[in-house]
Structures are given as structure tokens and as C-alpha cells.
Structure 1
Amino acid sequence: MANWFRGRNGRQDDGAASRAPVVDEASVRTALRDVRDPELGRDLISLNMIRDVRIDGASVAVTVALTTAGCPMKHRISGDITDRLKMLEGVEDVAVDFGEMTAQDRQNLMVSLHGEATELAPAFTEESKTRVIAVVSGKGGVGKSTVAVNLAAALERAGKSVEILDADVYGSSIPVMLGALEKPNVVEGVIFPIESPTGLKFISMGNFVSEGQAIIWRAPIVNKALTQLMRDVYWDEPDFIVVDMPPGTGDVALTVAQMIPKAEALVVTTPQADAARVAAKAGKMAVQAHLKVIGVVENMAYAECPDCGKELRIFGGNGGESVATELASKILGRIPIQPDASGEPGNALYEEGSAPARAFDEVAASIAAVKVRKKLRVL
């Protein structure tokens, strides 16, 4: 509480009062429009999460209604509110109290954000602004998941909002690569993407099972699980959703391609002829599923000689050019190998400014520059 200066007669000094900045509830609520819920991606005011504002001189206290009392982002929300309100002139102390929404409040909120139960989340519909980039490969071991996460990071560096869908159900590696193995938060049947320590948001079947546990499911069950990830997850219509697809041309990959017809396929290969041959098959499957092949990435394309700086094509071959030619597409990037292997737990992102990161920045710039033509709805 502010300490008011009082004269000898005990009355408040009018000069001090006139100099004290005026803080009112309207200014507090206006400021809180700059504070977003980390999971929902919307400001606290529009989400109706600010339920009470109390002002006592230079002290401000607010009550926040969380979707669930155990919200994992509670401390972050509190810090963001405190930091923002202390920017207001005249505010010295901020107290944040938490409550919990009623079941009806939660249901109303989820319906307003996510809509009623539908086949797909709004982000995957033709009308959405979100572009879906399906990262595909003909076989495992070519670094498809590494390409997916580093492409997502490069798009974020370019100022785009990005989320990752790990659709590689049998070989879910995204949680380990990004160092986030916790279970996702679920509110009224809506699953919220996990925010990794790097800041990238993603969802993966790997976060629903214990680490190291094998997923032994037949295709119909896998297809149902993938449908749930595309229907029940709160995808906040970011600029891009990067989908780490299962390798090959099997039933799972075909299901994902058919469910997201607006997706654009990015084909990953290595220089070897064998990898290129099966990568071209994966690209052709995407075309047959009516997806647009946006380009080819040649991963592990070369190593840079530490002495002379020349490219050492240690795997030989010309896989990237071969795949691009067969698919009537183009190479968007050739990713070099670094001595310190990418893909270690929680350390899968190349350091910004490194040769691989710069190559991914070029790929991201090429993808972001593509103008997507919306399909016209026939009435």
C-alpha cells in the first residue's frame, strides 16, 4: 500500500496526492491484453481468465481463473502478469491469486476456441491460414525427424508461428529430441501441445507412453490415434504445422496424407542412390494422395573439410538432384554433416549461425516465400 505523506495536522498533502499517478481497473485490464496464456495463445482478457482486479494505492492484486488448478504454466502466467503491470506508472507491488474455472466455464471456453467435436481441428481445414508441411522420406535413418525439428526452428527464427505434429507413431523421437517427455495437459477432452525447453510446441504419441515402451498396434488403432491427434489437439492455427511423417509408403503415411489434403510434402533424402530411390517413391505417394511436393532436402549432403573448407561428399551420390528431377521439383537445401552429431536427447537443434542452421534458414525462407493458392468453394 502506498505511504501517503501527511502534514502536521494529519491530513493528506494535496500536492503529493496530485502528483501520485492514477491507476484504475480499466488501465490494468488494458495492460493485461498484452499477457497471453502460454497454452491457449490468446490474451487473458479475451479468455475471460481475469476475474477480479483490486487496487490499493500503488498495489494491484488480480485473480486469475485457470482451466485447471494444476496448470503447469501457473508460475509463468504469474510472472508475465507481474512484469506487465509493473510497467504501469504508479504500480509498485503486484499480487496474483489463482482460482479454477467451473466445468461449464471450461466447456464454454473449449467450444469457443476449438469448436464442437469435428473430424479435424480448424488448423487442418482448407479455410485455415495454417500451412501444413509434411516431412516425408522413403526409409528411416535419413534424418527425417532432424529435418522436421530444425525446419520448425528455422521458421520460428524467420518470425513465423510453428507447431510440430509427430505422426511417426512407431518411432516417435520428437519428445526426446526436444527434451520434453512430460504428459500433455488435457482440458475437457482437448489436448494441449507441449512446449519444449527450446520454445517449440509439439504433440507426439511418445508423450502418452512410458519412455522406451514399444507401441505394438495394428494399423486401424494407429489410424484412430492419429485421427485423435489431428482432431482433439488444440492447434492454435499457427502459420505452420510441421508434420514428422512415418517413413515409407505404408498405411499410416497414406492415412495422414488423405486426412490433410492441403498438406505440402517436403521430401528428405541422403546422397546415396538407394535412399534417393525410395525417397522418390515416398514423393510419388504424396502426389498420388493429391499433395503438392514443395521441394527436396538432401540431408547429410557433405562434410566440410576443417583444413581447406572444401565439401567432402563422404556418402557420394547425387541423391537430392535425382529425387528432385524424378518428382519435377527442386532442391531447397543441402544440409551438411557436423562432427557433433545432432539428435542427442534435448539437443537436436543445430546452433543458430552454424552451417546446418544456415542451410535450414534457406529452406525455411524458400518455403515461406511460396504463395499458396486457396481452393475456391463452389456454391
Structure 2
Amino acid sequence: MTIEPRLLEALSRVQDPELRRPITELGMVDSATLSNGTAKVRVLLTIAGCPMRSTIEADVDAALRAVAEVQHVELTLGVMSPEQRAELRESLVSRSIPFSDPASLTRVISIASGKGGVGKSSLTANLACAMATDGLRVGLIDADVHGFSIPGLLGIPHASPTRVDEMILPPVAHGVKVISIGMFVPDNKPVIWRGPMLHRALEQFLTDVHFGDLDVLLLDLPPGTGDIAISVSQLLPGSELVVITTPQAAAAQVAERAGSIAVSTGQKVIGVIENMSWLQLPDGSTMEVFGSGGGMELAHRLELVLGTEVPLLGQVALDPMLRAGGDKGIPLVISHPEAPAALQITAIARALTHRPRGLAGRPLGVSPR
């Protein structure tokens, strides 16, 4: 393998669009020479039908032309051998769940609700995009296997993950790495699975899907306290819960059960979000369509049950544009970041991610001399 150091430095700034790592670190640069102003480079794709082929070509070409000595670029694309793919997979994937490692610094937040129809998935998609917009590395697992909706809300309803042998590379939407059972089910067919298969699907998402280093991993849980909620507590014992409700008293009562599961699982409920709190009318006044006070009441009840502080993280207005954004696959925080509901969601996302995190019990990688 011949690689010109000046070209190697330029190529180190090119990231694989799916793995989000420099192609130089992934062993994708097979050769790179510079002669008489012409850069001749051979890059190895992970698989023959790589869906990001054109993106890699454009990024490599742009990076090389930024080198002062380069006047022309001759780029050849090849494909990794099975041995090279095995070596790549071995370097990236562990059969254990990386996010359950006590040393992991990824914050894992499960978004739960007592019942459907409270806007949990829409809020989850918007929270993920708000965090990514703030520069965080965000992953999102659509754990609502029977009622998956995240791909459509993020504008990738027909996305297919790339497979590198047994490793799955999640599609990226609005800067968020996303995986959902909906990406493996053709023609919107129903998923008719029972407990053990649901547990195995979630486990496979956490072991076989390569998310890389994340700041935050969000899980959109199904409503209630069923199999998936229990599986999350077993597979990700360090995960935290955020409970979604509407202002309606009946909804808050049902949502209390979703938060109270933490008594049995040992998880921490880090807050409550009240959705659809009010509707802004054309004359500037507000209408409380679903009543008021449900979020604060839920937070107070969970504090009594759990014996810990459970804050009301925020109240999100009932905004028709939030629904329209979900239908179009462009979350409100992306399409109209100045909208009141978008500002409220962004503030909640920052409150979740800017909380101080203790390092007690975590190895720091230093040793005494």
C-alpha cells in the first residue's frame, strides 16, 4: 500500500457517511499517490452496492483538490475483501451492548407514556433533532415495534439500513442515526410478535447496529408498561425515563403507571413533559383544549411514589405545524425553529442534555506513576 502523507492528511477529513468515522481509520484508503499534480487514489467501499457511493466520491474529490499541489484527481473505487470486512467489523462491533457498559458516557433516555395519542413519538423525533442541531451525536431507536412511526416522522419511511456482513449501519436523518423495525417490514405490514421476539429485536438493535460513539441515545417506547419497557430495563439498566402526558387529568393518571414502573426496574425518572398544553388562537389568546395542570400533577405524584425529585421539564403548545412537520418528515425544530412549540422542545432538549453527569464508578483511564 502506497500513501502520500499529504493526501493521507486530506483524506483523514473525509468521513464515511454511515459509519461517521474517517475513511483513513476504517482502512478504506487502499492507495494514494501524487505525481506531477495528479492525485491517484483508490478507496475501498465496504460493500459493492454501497448506497453512499456518490457521497464518498464527491467528498474525496473535494478533500484532495484542497491540497495545494493537486491539480487533477483520479479516483478509483474498489470493494473490501471478506477478510477486510471481517477486520473492520471486529474493530467496530462488540457482541455486548456498549450502552450498558458502566464506563459508557452515552446518556440513554427512554421516552414513555401511559397511553397512545399524547404525541410521544412526535416529541421524541423533535427532541432528537433538537439535540443534533446543538451539535450532539444522537441515536434514536424506535422501540415501539407494533406501532413504529419514527421513520415517517423523520422523512425516511423507505430507508434501508446498510448491512456489512452481520453489522447493521443505521440510516441518518437530520443528523440523527435511526433504527426501526419499520425499516425491515415491507409494505407497512403489521408486526405480530409476542414477548420473546420483541426482546430479541430490541437486543439486536443494541448489539448488531453500529451507532458509534453517541452523546445521547433516545428510545421511543410503546405506550404502557409491557414487554418492551421491561426489556429496556434489563438490557439498559442505566437508562433514564422521561414520561409524556397531556394536561388532561385522566391522561396524567394513566401516565403515572408508566413512570411508576421505575419502582420495580430501578430506573430513574428524570422528568415529565406536558404536551398539547394549549392552543394559540388567531387573536393571540390561548385555549386549554385538554384542560390544565396534568403535567405538574403527574410530576408531583411520581415524586411521592418514587421518593425522588421529578421535575416538569416543560409544556409544549398544541401546534398544527408540529403535526404537519411530522406528516412531511421534517420535524418542527428543523422546519420552523422559531415557532413557540419548537422553542419549547429545544429548551427541554437542552435541559435534558446539559444536566451535570457524575463520574463516580467510571474509569478515567489514568494510573499513578
- Provide the TM-score with structure 1 as the length reference: 0.88
User: Partner residue of 1:14?
Assistant: none
| AA matched with 1:359 | Q
2:202 corresponding residue in structure 1: 226
Which of 181, 187, 191 lines up with 2:168 in the alignment? 191
Aligned to 2:294: 319
Instruction: Please state how far the C-alpha of 1:158 moved relative to its aligned partner.
Output: 1.7
* Cα distance in 2, alignment partners of residues 38 and 289 from structure 1: 37
Determine the C-alpha separation between the residues in 1 that align with 2:8 and 2:115: 53
Checking the alignment, whether the CA contact within 8 Å between 1:166 and 1:245 is kept in structure 2 is yes
For residues 292 and 174 of structure 1, the distance between their equivalents in structure 2, rounded to whole angstroms, comes to 24
Q: Determine the structure 2 residue equivalent to 1:335.
A: 316
* Structure 1 position 345, deviation (Å): 4.3
Q: What is the Cα deviation at residue 377 of structure 1?
A: 7.0
Q: Which runs of 5 or more residues in structure 2 are unaligned?
A: 304-309, 364-369
Q: Does 1:283 align with 2:227?
A: no
| 1:372 and 2:360 are equivalent in the alignment | no
C-alpha RMSD of the superposition = 1.7
Aligned counterpart, 2:59: 80
Letter in 1 for 2:51: P
Q: Which deviates the most, 136-145 or 84-93?
A: 84-93
- 2:111 matched to 1:135? yes
The answer to whether the aligner puts 1:172 opposite 2:148 as a matched pair is yes
1:250 corresponds, among 212, 226, 236, to 226
Q: In structure 2, which of residues 15, 18, 27 is the aligned counterpart of residue 36 of structure 1?
A: 15
Question: Is the CA contact 1:124–1:130 (under 8 Å) kept in the aligned structure 2?
Answer: no
- Report the more deviating stretch, 239-248 or 254-263: 254-263
Measured in 1, the distance between the counterparts of 2:140 and 2:27 equals: 28
1:102 corresponds to which of 81, 97, 103: 81
Residue 361 of structure 1 corresponds to which residue in structure 2?
346
Do residues 156 (structure 1) and 132 (structure 2) align?
A: yes
- Residues 38-77 of structure 1 mapped to structure 2, 5 A cutoff: 38-77=17-56
In the alignment, residue 175 of structure 2 is paired with which amino acid? G
Q: Per-residue deviation at 1:95?
A: 2.7
Q: What are the superposed Cα offsets for residues 136-192 of structure 1, whole Å, 9 maximum, x if unpaired?
A: 001111111111110001111222110101100000101111121222111120111
**TM-score, with structure 2 as normaliser:** 0.91
CA distance in 1, matches of 2:44, 2:55: 14
8 Å contact from structure 2 (residues 129, 175) kept in 1? no
Tell which structure's C-alpha radius of gyration is larger.
Answer: 1
Q: 2:241 and 2:124 mapped to 1: Cα distance? A: 12
Q: CA deviation at 1:349?
A: 3.6
Could you tell me how far apart the structure 2 residues matched to 1:144 and 1:319 are? 15
Instruction: Provide, for residues 301-337 of structure 1, a one-character-per-residue CA deviation record: whole Å limited to 9, x for no partner.
Output: 11122222x3321111311101111122111111112
Structure 1 position 375, deviation (Å): 5.1
| Alpha carbons 1:124, 1:132 under 8 Å: kept | no
Query: Structure 2 CA distance, aligned partners of 1:189 and 1:124?
Result: 21
| Cα distance in 2 for residues equivalent to 1:106 and 1:217 | 33
Partner of 1:346 in structure 2? 329
2:129–2:331 Cα contact (<8 Å) kept: no
User: What is the CA-CA distance between 1:286 and the residue it aligns to?
Assistant: 2.8
Given that 1:297 and 1:320 are in contact with CA atoms closer than 8 Å, whether structure 2 keeps it comes out as yes
Contact kept in structure 2, 1:158 and 1:364, CA below 8 Å:
no
Aligned equivalents of 1:43, 1:219: Cα separation in 2: 39
CA contact (8 A) 1:287 1:293 kept: no
Contact 2:274 2:316 (C-alpha < 8 Å) held by counterparts: yes
Please, which of 215, 218, 221 is the counterpart of residue 239 of structure 1?
Answer: 215
Opposite residue 116 of structure 2, the aligned amino acid is G
Q: Shift of residue 50 of structure 1?
A: 0.4
- The 1-side partners of 2:80 and 2:218 are apart by 32
* One-letter identity of the residue aligned with 1:369: H
AA at the equivalent of 2:338: G
User: For the residues of structure 2 that align with 1:84 and 1:314, how far apart are their CA atoms?
Assistant: 54
Equivalents in 1 of 2:9, 2:331: separation in Å? 40
Return the letter of the residue paired with 2:28.
M
Letter in 2 for 1:376: G
| Cα distance, 1:126 vs structure 2 | 2.0
Secondary structure of 1:327's counterpart equals helix
